[in-house]
């Protein structure tokens, strides 16, 4: 169920079509994902069909439709990261967490996303965990960072 | 952030009363984090590679001992009170060949402090423009030769003029800050380091075309840039350079920030407009061009961040001043994001007409392993081989070589990079970012990707290279928008300059750079392995075994080729070998 805060944002919107994407963004900020209830509420509020709301939401990479894990990991797949070993980081992290891109670990601890470019190309390769950017990563450094998150309980 | 906290704590411990100012990116990212110290009557002095321990040491030396340690010292700014023997910051080899016009304030001023911008002649250009007529701005921009910095290089004044000729009534001005190009971060750095320059340019452009509403379409992935813009817009309203009746001129403008939601195709003008209107970001066929019928069917101009950031300079200093930089039809300067296998990475700005060699060897400090190619223009661009190093960078020269200027990502590749793998990388990107509206792009890029994927797995067929070329030409000619029209560029340009690498993959089933994962094997070199067990400990799959003090062994079946062993081995005893699939 969407949080009350999210419902409040929806009820305060002007009801214009152009508000659709900003609304989805605000709700995701609060709930962490776009739930079926959110789609239904927005559909009513903006008088656009649920199919269309879903169609717009799925078009953009930013929106997710499953609850996120406790920590969100983004592995940058930008060009600079790619030529400096981003693929290996991605292979390692998928093996270590046992999940693929777009999935959350069974214990809900981590979710994993491969992203197009975080815009930190000069410090490549980079991995972002929650709001923190880890730059010039290697498989070894990444292992240590993940250990820290896991040991932190 | 750790360095900042440590600096605050150290200064408190030392009882020093100092102001700590956060500035934007000054360019040499590879030296980060940087910490500058400015004492009264002394020049600003810059130190690189800070960590909390080094910062404490440095501040204690400066404030307690009155010494300026040489370790990590980059140099001092300007001439004021120059200190004996200390190098100038801008004489650093990475900075010396640069000409910083649009980046002139980045890393120099506090981007959150409007007074800093005003002290650097901020909003003078707007004052000047508002004192005259919109036509005057148009004429100046025309004389300056400014071309769009988003990639295609269309003359800025001409686009504006189409919009002006589209009659009176509601018009829109949009700043495209979507920057979805992997490998590019110029726009982010400019907004974070000098938001007012971009905003002043946006107001100037809106004034010229007669728009009363402006939008900034910016990626949600850039939260700091969004925050800086929001702060700056608030400051603009306070001093009356935004809102009703700007500076008493009768001209009014409002700016709204729209966050993009992660779709590369939204960098395309018609797709961006669809996205602002709350729809899927799908391009539509042109004409009509947005300059005639854009947002909500009204005349709309979309300019890139860098184009707008350049405008205040041109209006303030005049067109003649601007044309002194650059060559022929490519006037002025261009920012580039220099990354990849080059020693010094970062954000740079050089006059157009500068040679690639100057950028890669002088500014970038060259590559560690032999240089192979430079990729310009992101997924829409191409790979240029060493024979182009002495080509001056202009819109025309790059296009002729089969690449594009693009927004300015420069990824340097060395011999450890496989160009077939890189082409596949770009195709995977364009294939997944294709909006799906037109068949040549939706289906064509998928086929291109599939062929490349087979080739890099050692399953290439003799006819594949011809297929890639034919298909590439079709997609290029038949796609609806720029994404599809340029998507084959990475393949076609690498086929042109690195055909042998394709042949090695297709005919010999071999990856000469030992990158393609199916064509590489990791093995232990017995003579070098000391049996130290480091690799055994790091291997995530338990593929490496062996008793202590004896050469280890890698189990091919278990190895996921993550290179962790290769990275940790201190004895160079792990080799990544190109293999030939014989079966």
Q: Which residues contact residue B274 at a Cβ distance below 8 angstroms, ignoring those fewer than 6 apart?
A: B280, B281, B282, B283, B284
Q: Which residues contact residue B458 at a Cβ distance below 8 angstroms, ignoring those fewer than 6 apart?
A: B505, B509, B516, B518, B519, B581
How large is the greatest C-alpha to C-alpha distance in chain B, in angstroms?
Answer: 83
The pLDDT tens digits of the residues spanning B182-206 come to: 989 999 999 999 999 999 999 999 9
Query: What distance in Å separates the CA atoms of residue A50 and residue B145, rounded to the nearest whole number?
Result: 48
Whether residue A107 is predicted with pLDDT greater than 90 in this model: the reply is yes
Chain A residues whose beta carbon lies within 8 Å of the beta carbon of residue B422:
79, 82-83
Say whether B453 sits in a helix, a strand or coil: helix
Query: What distance in Å separates the CA atoms of residue B543 and residue B537, rounded to the nearest whole number?
Result: 10
Is A5 an 8 Å CB contact of chain B?
no
Q: Which of A20, A63, A119 sits opposite B221 (nearest CB)?
A: A119
Q: Which of B263, B345, B561 sits opposite A91 (nearest CB)?
A: B561
pTM: 0.93
Neighbours of A83 (CB within 10 A): 27
The reply to whether omega before B571 is within 30° of 0 (cis) is: no
Q: Which residue from B335, B131, B122, B158 is spatially nearest to B248, judged by alpha carbons?
A: B131
Is B564 an 8 Å CB contact of chain A?
yes
- Cβ <8 Å between B220 and A55: no
Is A68 an 8 Å CB contact of chain B?
no
CB of B182 closer than 8 Å to CB of B337: no
- Cβ <8 Å between B411 and A117: no
Kindly indicate the confidence band of residue A3, based on its pLDDT and cuts at 50, 70 and 90: low
- Cβ <8 Å between A19 and B278: yes
- Cβ <8 Å between B538 and A87: no
Neighbours of B220 (CB within 10 A): 18
CA distances A26 to A17, A48, B177, B220, B255, Å, are: 15, 18, 20, 11, 20
Instruction: Tell me the CB-side half-sphere exposure of residue B283, using CA atoms within 13 A.
Output: 24
Tokens of B200: 């002043």
Residue found by looking up tokens 């030769």 in the block: B145
The pLDDT tens digits of the residues spanning B314-339 come to: 999 999 999 999 999 999 999 999 99
Residue A1 has a pLDDT of 47
Mutate to test the interface with B, among A22, A23, A45, A82 (most CBs of B within 10 A): A82
Query: What distance in Å separates the CA atoms of residue B125 and residue B313, rounded to the nearest whole number?
Result: 7
Neighbours of A32 (CB within 10 A): 16
The pLDDT tens digits of the residues spanning A131-150 come to: 899 999 998 899 999 999 99
Chain B residues whose beta carbon lies within 8 Å of the beta carbon of residue A21:
258-259, 261, 275, 278
Is A106 an 8 Å CB contact of chain B?
no
- Cβ <8 Å between A79 and B426: yes
Residue found by looking up tokens 């003649």 in the block: B320
- Cβ <8 Å between A19 and B339: no
Q: Which of A18, A80, A95 sits opposite B411 (nearest CB)?
A: A80
Query: What distance in Å separates the CA atoms of residue B573 and residue B550, rounded to the nearest whole number?
Result: 12
Residue A153 has a pLDDT of 63
- Cβ <8 Å between A91 and B281: no
Residue B397 has a pLDDT of 95
pLDDT in tens, chain B (583 residues): 689 999 999 999 999 999 999 999 899 999 989 999 999 888 899 999 999 999 999 999 999 988 999 999 999 987 665 677 889 998 999 999 999 999 999 999 999 999 999 999 999 999 999 999 999 999 999 999 999 998 889 999 999 999 999 988 999 999 999 998 898 999 999 999 999 999 999 999 999 999 999 999 999 989 999 999 999 999 999 999 999 999 999 999 999 999 999 899 999 999 999 999 999 999 999 899 999 999 999 999 999 999 999 999 999 999 999 999 999 999 999 999 999 999 999 999 999 999 999 999 999 999 999 999 999 999 999 999 999 999 999 999 999 999 999 889 999 999 989 999 999 999 999 999 999 999 999 999 999 999 999 999 999 999 999 999 999 999 999 999 999 999 999 999 999 999 999 999 999 999 999 889 889 889 899 889 999 998 998 888 899 998 889 999 999 899 988 888 888 888 988 877 776 665 4
Is A85 an 8 Å CB contact of chain B?
yes
Q: Which residue from B212, B209, B198 is spatially nearest to B312, judged by alpha carbons?
A: B198
Chain A residues whose beta carbon lies within 8 Å of the beta carbon of residue B544:
none
Query: What distance in Å separates the CA atoms of residue B251 and residue B232, rounded to the nearest whole number?
Result: 19
Query: What distance in Å separates the CA atoms of residue B182 and residue B205, rounded to the nearest whole number?
Result: 28
CB of A126 closer than 8 Å to CB of A133: yes
CA distances B40 to A56, B18, B59, B342, Å, are: 56, 11, 16, 37
Mutate to test the interface with A, among B436, B539, B563, B576 (most CBs of A within 10 A): B563
Say whether B435 sits in a helix, a strand or coil: coil
The pLDDT tens digits of the residues spanning A62-95 come to: 999 989 999 999 999 999 999 998 988 999 999 9
Instruction: Tell me the CB-side half-sphere exposure of residue B321, using CA atoms within 13 A.
Output: 11
CB of B228 closer than 8 Å to CB of B269: no
To the nearest whole angstrom, how far is the Cα of B126 from the nearest Cα of chain A? 30
The strand pairing partners of B554, in sequence order, are B544
Q: Which of B180, B422, B560 sits opposite A91 (nearest CB)?
A: B560
Query: What distance in Å separates the CA atoms of residue B192 and residue B184, rounded to the nearest whole number?
Result: 14
Laid out side by side, the sheet with B213-219 consists of B254-260, B213-219, B172-177, B300-304
- Cβ <8 Å between B338 and A92: no
- Cβ <8 Å between B182 and A78: yes
Gyration radius from chain B CA atoms: 26
Per-window interface: A 26-45 vs B, CB < 8 A: none
Query: What distance in Å separates the CA atoms of residue B142 and residue B125, rounded to the nearest whole number?
Result: 16
Is A118 an 8 Å CB contact of chain B?
yes
Tokens of B133: 């007529």
- For residue B64, what is the DSSP state? I
Query: What distance in Å separates the CA atoms of residue A2 and residue A26, rounded to the nearest whole number?
Result: 12
Query: What distance in Å separates the CA atoms of residue B335 and residue B317, rounded to the nearest whole number?
Result: 19
Parallel, antiparallel, or unpaired for β B346-351 and B333-340? antiparallel
Task: Tell me the average pLDDT of chain A.
Answer: 90
Mutate to test the interface with B, among A21, A49, A55, A75 (most CBs of B within 10 A): A21
Chain B residues whose beta carbon lies within 8 Å of the beta carbon of residue A92:
540, 560, 562, 564
B326: left (phi over 0), alpha (psi -120 to 50) or beta: left
CB of A59 closer than 8 Å to CB of A98: no
- Cβ <8 Å between A119 and B276: no
Residue A15 has a pLDDT of 79
Helix (H) or strand (E) holding B280: none
Give the CA-trace dihedral at A139, A144, A149, A152, to 10 degrees.
170
Q: Which residue from B495, B367, B512 is spatially nearest to B424, judged by alpha carbons?
A: B495
To the nearest whole angstrom, how far is the Cα of A85 from the nearest Cα of chain B? 9
- Cβ <8 Å between A91 and B346: no
CA distances B449 to B432, B488, B539, Å, are: 10, 10, 31
């Amino acid at each position: 169920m969407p949080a009350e805060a999210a419902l409040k944002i929806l009820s305060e919107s002007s009801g214009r079509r152009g508000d659709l994407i900003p609304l989805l963004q605000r709700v995701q900020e609060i709930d962490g994902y776009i739930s079926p209830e959110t789609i239904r509420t927005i559909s009513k509020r903006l008088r656009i069909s649920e199919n269309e709301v879903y169609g717009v939401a799925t078009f953009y990479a930013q929106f997710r439709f499953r609850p996120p894990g406790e920590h969100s990991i983004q592995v940058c797949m930008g060009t600079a990261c790619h030529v400096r070993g981003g693929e290996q980081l991605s292979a390692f992290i998928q093996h270590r967490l046992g999940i693929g891109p777009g999935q959350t670990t069974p214990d809900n601890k981590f979710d994993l996303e491969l992203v197009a470019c975080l815009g930190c190309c000069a410090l490549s390769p980079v991995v972002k965990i929650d709001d923190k950017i880890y730059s010039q990563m290697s498989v070894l450094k990444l292992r240590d960072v993940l250990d820290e998150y896991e040991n932190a309980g | 952030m750790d360095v900042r906290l440590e600096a605050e704590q150290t200064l408190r411990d030392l009882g020093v009363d100092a102001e700590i100012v956060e500035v934007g990116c000054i360019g040499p990212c590879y030296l980060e984090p940087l910490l500058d110290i400015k004492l009264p009557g002394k020049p600003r002095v810059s130190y690189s590679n800070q960590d909390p321990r080094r910062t404490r040491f440095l501040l204690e030396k400066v404030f307690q001992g009155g010494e300026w340690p040489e370790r990590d010292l980059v140099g001092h700014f300007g001439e004021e009170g120059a200190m004996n023997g200390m190098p100038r910051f801008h004489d650093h080899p990475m900075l010396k060949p640069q000409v910083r016009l649009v980046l002139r304030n980045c890393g120099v001023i506090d981007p959150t402090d409007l007074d800093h911008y005003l002290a650097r002649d901020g909003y003078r250009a707007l004052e000047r423009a508002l004192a005259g007529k919109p036509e005057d701005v148009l004429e100046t921009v025309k004389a300056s030769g400014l071309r769009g910095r988003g990639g295609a290089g269309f003359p800025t004044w001409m686009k504006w003029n189409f919009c002006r000729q589209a009659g009176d009534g509601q018009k829109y001005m949009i700043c495209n800050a979507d920057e979805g190009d992997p490998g590019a971060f110029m726009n982010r750095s400019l907004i974070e380091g000098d938001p007012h320059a971009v905003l002043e340019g946006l107001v100037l452009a809106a004034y010229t075309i007669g728009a009363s509403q402006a939008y900034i379409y910016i990626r949600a992935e850039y939260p700091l840039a969004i925050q800086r813009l929001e702060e700056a817009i608030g400051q603009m309203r306070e001093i009356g350079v935004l809102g009703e009746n700007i500076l008493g001129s009768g001209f009014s403008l409002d700016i709204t920030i729209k966050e993009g939601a992660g779709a590369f195709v939204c960098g395309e003008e018609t797709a961006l407009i669809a996205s602002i209107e709350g729809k899927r970001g799908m391009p539509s066929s042109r004409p009509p061009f947005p300059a005639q019928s854009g947002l909500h069917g009204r005349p709309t101009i979309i300019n890139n961040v860098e184009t707008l950031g350049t405008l205040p300079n041109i209006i303030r200093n005049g067109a003649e001043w601007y044309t002194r930089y650059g060559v022929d039809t490519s006037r002025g300067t261009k920012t580039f994001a220099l990354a990849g296998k080059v020693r010094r990475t970062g954000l740079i700005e050089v006059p157009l007409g500068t040679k690639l060699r100057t950028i890669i060897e002088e500014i970038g400090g060259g590559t560690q392993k032999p240089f192979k190619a430079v990729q310009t223009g992101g997924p829409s661009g191409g790979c240029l081989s060493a024979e182009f190093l002495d080509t001056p960078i202009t819109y025309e020269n790059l296009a002729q070589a089969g690449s594009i200027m693009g927004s300015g990502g420069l990824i340097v590749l060395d011999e450890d990079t496989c160009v077939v793998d890189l082409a596949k990388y770009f195709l995977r990107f364009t294939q997944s970012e294709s909006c799906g509206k037109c068949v040549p792009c939706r289906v064509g890029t998928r086929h291109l990707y599939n062929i490349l994927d087979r080739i890099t797995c050692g399953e290439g067929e003799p006819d594949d290279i011809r297929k890639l070329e034919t298909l590439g030409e079709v997609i290029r000619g038949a796609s609806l928008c720029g994404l599809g029209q340029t998507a084959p560029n990475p393949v076609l340009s690498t086929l042109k300059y690195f055909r042998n690498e394709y042949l090695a993959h297709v005919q010999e089933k071999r990856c000469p750079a030992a990158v393609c994962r199916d064509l590489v094997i990791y093995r232990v070199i017995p003579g070098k392995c000391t049996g130290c067990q480091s690799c055994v400990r790091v291997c995530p799959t338990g593929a490496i075994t062996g008793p202590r003090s004896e050469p280890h062994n890698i189990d091919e079946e278990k190895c996921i080729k993550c290179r962790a062993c290769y990275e940790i081995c201190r004895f160079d005893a792990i080799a990544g070998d190109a293999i030939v699939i014989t079966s």
